[in-house]
Structure 1
Amino acid sequence: MENDIKLSKRVIEHEEKDENSTKSRLYIPIKYKFSISLVISTLWVIFSYYVSRRWISDLSEVTYSVSLAVFIIAGIAYIPGFMNAFLVSSLLLDKQPKFKVTHPEDEVTILVAAYNEEAGIFNTLKYIKEQEYKGKIHTIVINNNSNDNTCAEVERAKKEMGMDILLLHENTPGKFNALNHGLNYVKTKYVITLDADTLIHNKAVNYLISRSNSAPDDVCAVAGSMLVRNSRENLLAKIQEWDYFLSIASIKRMQGLYQGTLVAQGAFSLYKTSVVQNVGGWSDAIGEDIVLTWKMLKQGYRVYFEPHAVAFTDVPTKLSHFAKQRSRWARGMIEGLREVKPWQQPSIYYKFLTGIDLFIPYMDLSYTFFWIPGVILAVFFQKYYIVGPMMLLVFPLTLISFYILYYYQTHVVFKNLNLKVRKNTIGFFIFILCYQIVMSPVSLYGYAQELIGAKRVWK
C-alpha cells in the first residue's frame, strides 16, 4: 500500500510539472480534470435514474422484477451514459502539451513481424524509407513461417531502395514470438512496432519520438494514431473508417489525457527498448500489445498517445474476417485483465481506466440480449419496454463526443498533416445506427473463446 501511494504521488508530481511547462490561459491540473469529469458523469447517471423511474416501473411489469429491470437498463443506458459523459467531459478539458523537442535525432529500430505479407510489405518498407526524420532508422523484418514471397519482397526492398533492413526468421508461430526474436537484435533506445500491412505518414516517426523526448522520463511508450486506408473498398470498410476516426481515436485521447493509454497497439507504437526488455517482452497472448501495455503501467510507467503520428491500415472487408479480428481484440482485453488486475495498478487513473474494461462485457451482454431484442420489439411491434424515448438520452452524448473529436481531427491533426477527410456520409449513419448491433455479439464470441481456451489464431 505504501509503495502504491508513493507511485501515485510520483505520477501526480510529474503530471503537474509536465502541465506547468505548457502555456495556457487557464491551467487545470490533471487531477482536477479527472475529478471534474467524474463528477459530471456521476451527475448524469443520477439525472438518468431520476427521469427513468417510469421506465423502470413499466419494464418491471414485464420482467416481474424491479432488480432485473434495473439490471437491463443499467447495461444499455446508465453505464454507457456514464462512460459517454466522462468521455465528453475529458475531451473538452483535454489540451495536448507542446513539444519541447521538434526535430529529434535519436536512432530508432522498427520491428515488422511478417506472416504471408508479400502483397503489401514492399509498400510498407517504402513508407519507412520516405520518413522525414533526422535520426537513423534501422528496420528489422521477422519472417514468421511465411509460405509465400514475403522474404523475396523484403530482399527486393533492400536492393531497390538501399534500405538498412535486417531479415530474421522465427519458425515458432505467433506474433509475440516474432517480436521477441526481433527484440534481441535491437540496440537503440527506442523501438517501434509496425504491422506489415500498415503505411505510416512521412512525419509519423518524428512525431512519436518528439512526443517521447518531450515527456517525463517515466513515459515508456507512445501510441500512434491508426486510420483506415481502404475505406473505398466496400460498405463494411466505410463503416470501420468512422470507428477508427471517431471512436478509437476519442477513447485514446481520453486515456492519453490521464497518461494511461491502455493499448500501445502493436500496429504502430513507440516503446523504450529497455522497459520492454525489463518486463519480459511480449507475452504469449492473442492481445500481446494489451498485456505489454498493462504490465508497463503496473510498473509505474506512463503511456502517451500522439494523434499526429498517423498510420494507415487495411481493415477487413469481409464480415467473417471482421468478426475474427474484433473477437481477437475482445480476447485480448480479457487477457489483459487476467494478467494485471485493475486494483493492482499504481495510479488511481490507471485503476479507473482499466476498471472500465470490467464493465464492457456486461454492456456487450446487455446490448446483445436486451437492446437488440428491444429494437425488434420497438420497430416491428411498437413495444417500447426496452428501447424507447428514454434511450434517446444516451444518443446526444455520443453525437457530442463525435463532433468534438471530428472538429479536432479535421482542424488540428489533418490540417497540420495536409490530409483531407473523405466524404463518407452513408458509412457514418450506418456506423451510428447499426455498428453496435454487430460489435457486441462479436465481442461476446471473443469472450467465450477466451473462457473456453479456444485455439489462438494470429490472422
Structure 2
Amino acid sequence: MNYFEPIGGARSPESQEFWNKHRNKVRRRYLVALAFALGWVLLSIWMSLPWLSDLGNLATPLVALFVLTFIAYVPGFMNAFLLVSLVLRPQSRRETPASWPGITILVAAYQEEELIGATLQSIAQLEYPGELEILVMDDGSTDRTSDRVIENKALFDGLANMDLRLVREVQNRGKARVLNHGLELASHELIVTIDADTLLEKGCIVSLIEHLVASPPETAAIAGTVFVANHDDSWITRAQQWDYFHGIAAVKRMQGMYYGTLVAQGAFSIYRKQAVLDVGGWPDTVGEDIVLTWSLLRRGLVVRHAEDAIAWTNAPKTFGELAKQRKRWARGMIEALSIHKALLAKRNLRTMLIWWNLLFVSIDLVFTLAFLPGLILAVLGIYWLAGPITLLVLPLAALWNVVIFRIQTRMLKRMDVKMEKSFIGFILYAFIYPLLMQPVSVWGYFAELFGGKKQWN
C-alpha cells in the first residue's frame, strides 16, 4: 500500500533502496531473536521439571503448568526476545526533506490552567523551519484554561511560521471527540498530538519529520519519546522516570524495529491526516490512542518510533493518581484487543507483538493471584509458587536494562539533552514498582470486562 504523498518532495533513490533491503534484514533479526527466545524457554522448561512435578502433586499438573508458564516461561521468552532485539537494533535512520511540510499541532486540554502555559512556551521555542498551526482544543474546561491560552498568545505574535488558535467547546465532550474536531479544522496533512502538560524539546518536530521521511512509504504514524519532567516530586514519580526511560522506551524501540509500534501515544506522536480519517478518526474509547494505532496496523500500515524525538510529561504524583492512569491503560488494551481481534490472525511480524500484549493479561493475573502469595510463602521457606527457577528471569531482565541504559544515555548525549537520574528511583522501579502495577492492571482488566465508568481526564 503506497497511497501517501512523499514528505517534503520526492523520496530519494537512496532512501527507497535502503528500505527495500531493510525489510529482509528486519526479518532476519526477528528470526534470530525468536530462535534465542524459544531456546531460552526450552532451557527453562528442562530446568524446571522437578518444580513442575512437585507443584503438580500439590495442585494438579494442568494448574502447575499454567502457573509456571506465566511466572517463568513466558516472561523469560519476552525478556530474551527483547534483549536480542535491542542488541541487534539497526542504526536509527533520519533523512532531511527537500522542503519542510506544514504541521498542525493538536493540544487537547481539559482543566489545565496550571500547566497549559508552560506547554505553549515550549511550543513557541521549537526550532522547526516549516509552518506550524497550533490548535488548542479546550474541551469545555470550567477553570481558566482558555484564559491562560489567551495570555500566552503574545509568544507567537512575532513568529512568522507559527499560528496559535484557541477552539473552545461549549461543554465537555471527551478527548476523542475534541481531537476529531481538531482534525476537521486542521489546515495541514501532518498532525502532531500532544497533551496539555507536554513539554517539547526544541528539535523534536524536526526529528519526527526526518524519521517519517526516512520511513517506508506506508508509514501512517510515528510515536515520539516521552520522559518524565517532574521526577523529583515524589517517590512515585522517581520510579516512573525509570519506567519511561527504560521499560517503555525499550519496548517501543523493539516494536518499532518490526514496523509495529503498538501505541502512537496521544501525549506526543505524529500522524498522517488521511490515514486517521480513513480509519474513522479517534474512537470514543478509554484508550483512544491505542485503538487508533491498532486500526492503522489492521489496514497494513506501518507505525514506527522516533527514539530521539523527545518530549516531557508531568507524571502522576501519588499512587492513587498513577493507579487510575495505569488502570485506564489496561482498559485501553482490552478495548483494542476486543475491537481488533482480527489482528491476532494476520501473518506478519507484528502479529507476535499483538499476542505479546494478550499474554500480559494472563501474566498479570497469575502474578497477582499466584506469584505475590508465592513470595510470602518463599520468605517462610515454602517454594511452591515462587521457586528458584523463577530467578532465571532475572539475568535477562538485568541484561536488557543494562543495554537500554547504554542506548538511552548515548542518545541523550547525542541530542545534548540533560536528564537527572534518581538511583533511589531505579531501586523502586526494579523491585517495588512491578509488585504494585500488575495488580493495578488486573483491576483495569476487570473494570473493562464488567463495564466500569469511562472518562478521559
Fold equivalence (TM over 0.5): yes
The answer on 1:21 being equivalent to 2:18 is: yes
What is the aligned partner in structure 1 of residue 199 from structure 2?
199
What is the aligned partner in structure 2 of residue 38 from structure 1?
34
TM-score, normalised with respect to structure 2 = 0.93
Residue 452 of structure 1 and its aligned partner are, at CA, apart by 1.1
The answer on 1:392 being equivalent to 2:391 is: yes
Question: Given the superposition, is the C-alpha separation of residues 342 and 355 from structure 1 closer, same or farther in structure 2, using an over 3 Å criterion?
Answer: farther
- 1:8-407 paired onto structure 2 within 5 Å: 21=18, 29-63=25-59, 65-101=60-96, 105-162=100-157, 164-170=163-169, 171-343=171-343, 346-379=346-379, 381-407=380-406
Q: What CA deviation, in whole Å up to 9, does each residue of 1:311-352 have, x standing for no partner?
A: 100111111111100000000001111111254665511211
Residue 172 of structure 1 and its aligned partner are, at CA, apart by 4.2
Q: Provide the identity percentage.
A: 39
> Given residue 273 of structure 2, which amino acid in structure 1 is its aligned partner?
T
What is the aligned partner in structure 2 of residue 424 from structure 1?
422
What is the aligned partner in structure 1 of residue 451 from structure 2?
453
> Given residue 308 of structure 1, which amino acid in structure 2 is its aligned partner?
D
> Given residue 276 of structure 1, which amino acid in structure 2 is its aligned partner?
V
Q: Secondary structure at the match of 1:390?
A: helix
The answer as to whether partners of 1:361 and 1:444 remain within 8 angstroms in 2 is yes
Q: What CA deviation, in whole Å up to 9, does each residue of 1:35-56 have, x standing for no partner?
A: 1111111111000000001111
Q: Structure 2: give runs of 5+ residues left out of the alignment.
A: 3-13
Q: What CA deviation, in whole Å up to 9, does each residue of 1:354-375 have, x standing for no partner?
A: 1211111100001101110011
Q: Secondary structure at the match of 1:184?
A: helix
- Counterpart-to-counterpart distance in 2, 1:238 and 1:294: 31
The answer as to whether partners of 1:342 and 1:350 remain within 8 angstroms in 2 is no
The answer as to whether partners of 1:342 and 1:355 remain within 8 angstroms in 2 is no
- Counterpart-to-counterpart distance in 2, 1:44 and 1:281: 41
> Given residue 305 of structure 1, which amino acid in structure 2 is its aligned partner?
H
> Given residue 211 of structure 1, which amino acid in structure 2 is its aligned partner?
H
- Counterpart-to-counterpart distance in 2, 1:263 and 1:109: 20
- Counterpart-to-counterpart distance in 2, 1:157 and 1:164: 12
- Counterpart-to-counterpart distance in 2, 1:257 and 1:18: 17
- Counterpart-to-counterpart distance in 1, 2:347 and 2:212: 20
Root mean square deviation, CA, Å? 2.1
Question: Given the superposition, is the C-alpha separation of residues 154 and 281 from structure 1 closer, same or farther in structure 2, using an over 3 Å criterion?
Answer: same
Runs of 4+ in 1 over 3 A off after TM superposition: 17-20, 342-347
Question: Given the superposition, is the C-alpha separation of residues 19 and 62 from structure 1 closer, same or farther in structure 2, using an over 3 Å criterion?
Answer: farther
Q: What CA deviation, in whole Å up to 9, does each residue of 1:42-86 have, x standing for no partner?
A: 1110000000011112222322x1221111111111001111111
- Counterpart-to-counterpart distance in 2, 1:202 and 1:455: 38
Q: Secondary structure at the match of 1:21?
A: helix
Residue 457 of structure 1 and its aligned partner are, at CA, apart by 1.7
What is the aligned partner in structure 2 of residue 444 from structure 1?
442
Question: Given the superposition, is the C-alpha separation of residues 300 and 273 from structure 1 closer, same or farther in structure 2, using an over 3 Å criterion?
Answer: same
- Counterpart-to-counterpart distance in 1, 2:76 and 2:17: 32
Residue 270 of structure 1 and its aligned partner are, at CA, apart by 0.2
Q: Structure 1: give runs of 5+ residues left out of the alignment.
A: 1-5, 8-16
Q: How many correspondences in the alignment?
A: 442
Residue 27 of structure 1 and its aligned partner are, at CA, apart by 10
Question: Given the superposition, is the C-alpha separation of residues 407 and 342 from structure 1 closer, same or farther in structure 2, using an over 3 Å criterion?
Answer: farther
> Given residue 40 of structure 1, which amino acid in structure 2 is its aligned partner?
F
- Counterpart-to-counterpart distance in 2, 1:183 and 1:117: 21
